[in-house]
Chain A
């Protein structure tokens, strides 16, 4: 069944057994945990998962327990994509030699923003260039959470982390979030998409598409972390919605280089008056608290401006004519 005919209704989802099992040690309200559970719901058959060091690896594999109902391998922090390369190569040749029984096995690599934007980008770029058939999932909680909320290349401008604290002179992270999905599109790979767990159907459809594509696929998933964002654990999914509505994290996909907004962002593009101010999203997150003090005004304006500029660029790329509210 291809994703075109694939109707993943709420009932289907509920009935499909979990492959990322409960009992893991993630914090209450952990966005990545929800993301993982949803993604594993979208698998289509025999699957091997490999994962970079990070929160999700640590919470799901504490020996002698596991949350994984599929074969799963962790080796190191920077190796999600190189692990996937080796697994895929092994499956290919062993299939040829008749040493495995399955007709096909999907390979999924998970990594956090640290394991993707920063330390893992070389292995990722190499694996994609070589064209291995696998789905790489970046779960982006926008900092190194496992080691105590340090900044990464995916931490947004202005956010306070433990290595980019909001101090008296420097107001949080000065640099901008690296446009990682664009970097992956520039690899001319068959499938790149961004997704948010609030729009769960969009997310799992993209997972399925990424698996169906022959060759490498990259999925960038927004994953709120209440612990690191100093936000209310009950609101993680709400933030996942607000990030899309404010265009801080638009959802789109690029199929063979053709870029297209996905429905939730498309609706914003069609009705610009519905585009919410970034403050709606930033407010309530402790990491942005300093932006809402008098001296944070300029930073807040900056974030709005950068968000708007990036959104305009995306609209152009997707062939949408920017409309003003």
Chain B
């Protein structure tokens, strides 16, 4: 049994916590481009490079498109690669995100979640990463700076696992997390280094008929990122889906391995339930809102309301079974979306949660709350109103308004 190691308490904003985790994770190449609210990550990392504190090639690229291309190619060459972005930067990467997952490049990326233009807005919401949910990336969302730090370290282990080999993005809410100073317990350098280890490669068959590690290596020439037509493309895509399924187990394993050294875990790694055991009404959310929600649930419990919370830590792969069993006894569920799917009848998390509940024996009522767009603050009393609404739904026995907007001007 490994023992929980002694850790250093540091005051770090979310972005700094990410940069610190990257510094400790023996990353070979960082290729990144600045954008608010991710900037601190690149700046902080540049300082580490300038001060000789990391053994990393920092490629200060001329765009996010190139950041992702360089991350993919570095990864294909065998390097451990990291990048970070937000909003417009992530949108600019869109094309390359599919290439990263399709090339099975285990790139890790921090996304300081931010609204998309227009109108221009630099504050936090999930429009940027939600728009990339079908790009083949694993998506995790952090509740606080501590989780951002922990998740980045875990992300390398998840991405590079040979049963997975998929890129991972870790979301941290713009400003709310990226720029807010919190206490973060940091593991010692050597512990992180050992935890992430050195990259491993699967053996594949080369064109020369040899088996060799899957990377660009002049000793074993390999053609990567080829054209695959009607006869093969489909199989490539199916394999990515299998890798996503495998990731469900790997994320849980990494979460518990990490708990052994750090003493911290996030539910089962996929979802984290809060007061759900006997809950009748529950909300589902991702990111920093979960923190506020927990205090709201505490208050409601004090008032005798059987309220609970399900934090969706991993959104891709969607933890279907974990969500179903966590909500097994819940009668009414509010799904929270910090994002819109225009004309789509609700937000993306709502779509997916409601869809996976279709097959359960006794379906709960499900409503959608769209909130916090463009960084709009959501108060505990507004969050409380969600539970009150769920209670009245239970009383009335029906859902009147399935899609609601929280804290919106009339």
A61 at the interface (CB under 8 A from B): yes
Which residues from chain B contact A81 at a C-beta distance below 8 Å? Answer: 66
* Docked complex Cα distance between A90 and B28 (Å): 7
Which residues from chain B contact A130 at a C-beta distance below 8 Å? Answer: 59-61
B218 at the interface (CB under 8 A from A): yes
B227 at the interface (CB under 8 A from A): yes
B207 at the interface (CB under 8 A from A): yes
How many chain A residues touch B (Cβ–Cβ < 8 Å)?
Answer: 50
Q: Out of B55, B66, B232, which one reaches A82, CB within 8 Å?
A: B66
* Docked complex Cα distance between A66 and B198 (Å): 30
The proximity string for B residues 62-75 relative to A, scoring 1 for CB distances below 8 Å and 0 otherwise, is: 11011001111111
Contact check, A89 vs B29: say whether CB atoms are below 8 A apart: yes
Q: Which B residues between 61 and 110 are near A, CB-CB below 8 angstroms?
A: 61-63, 65-66, 69-79, 81, 95-96, 99, 103
Q: Out of A66, A71, A75, A97, which one reaches B218, CB within 8 Å?
A: A71
The proximity string for A residues 68-105 relative to B, scoring 1 for CB distances below 8 Å and 0 otherwise, is: 11111111101101111111011111101101111001
* Docked complex Cα distance between A68 and B221 (Å): 8
Contact check, A86 vs B65: say whether CB atoms are below 8 A apart: no
Q: Out of B28, B77, B227, which one reaches A63, CB within 8 Å?
A: B227
- Chain A minimum-CB-distance residue to B225: A74
Residue ranges of B at the interface with A (Cβ–Cβ < 8 Å) = 28-29, 31, 55-57, 59-63, 65-66, 69-79, 81, 95-96, 99, 103, 198, 207, 216-229, 232
Contact check, A89 vs B74: say whether CB atoms are below 8 A apart: yes
A234 at the interface (CB under 8 A from B): no
Contact check, B223 vs A66: say whether CB atoms are below 8 A apart: yes
Shortest A289–chain B CB gap in Å is 32
Which residues from chain B contact A71 at a C-beta distance below 8 Å? Answer: 216-218, 220-224
Contact check, A125 vs B72: say whether CB atoms are below 8 A apart: no
Can you give 25 contacting A-B residue pairs, CB < 8 Å?
A63-B228, A63-B232, A66-B223, A70-B221, A71-B221, A72-B222, A73-B216, A74-B224, A75-B73, A76-B95, A81-B66, A83-B72, A84-B73, A86-B59, A87-B74, A89-B70, A89-B74, A90-B81, A93-B28, A93-B29, A93-B55, A122-B66, A125-B62, A126-B61, A129-B62
Beyond A73-B216, A93-B55, 17 additional contacts (C-beta under 8 Å) are A61-B223, A61-B225, A62-B226, A62-B227, A74-B225, A74-B226, A75-B72, A75-B99, A79-B65, A82-B70, A83-B69, A83-B73, A86-B59, A89-B31, A90-B74, A90-B78, A130-B61
A46 at the interface (CB under 8 A from B): yes
Contact check, B95 vs A73: say whether CB atoms are below 8 A apart: no
Contact check, B65 vs A82: say whether CB atoms are below 8 A apart: yes
Contact check, A86 vs B28: say whether CB atoms are below 8 A apart: no
- Chain B minimum-CB-distance residue to A62: B227
Q: Out of B31, B71, B226, which one reaches A66, CB within 8 Å?
A: B226
A50 at the interface (CB under 8 A from B): yes
Contact check, B62 vs A122: say whether CB atoms are below 8 A apart: yes
* Docked complex Cα distance between A61 and B218 (Å): 17
* Docked complex Cα distance between A69 and B28 (Å): 27
- Chain A minimum-CB-distance residue to B199: A99
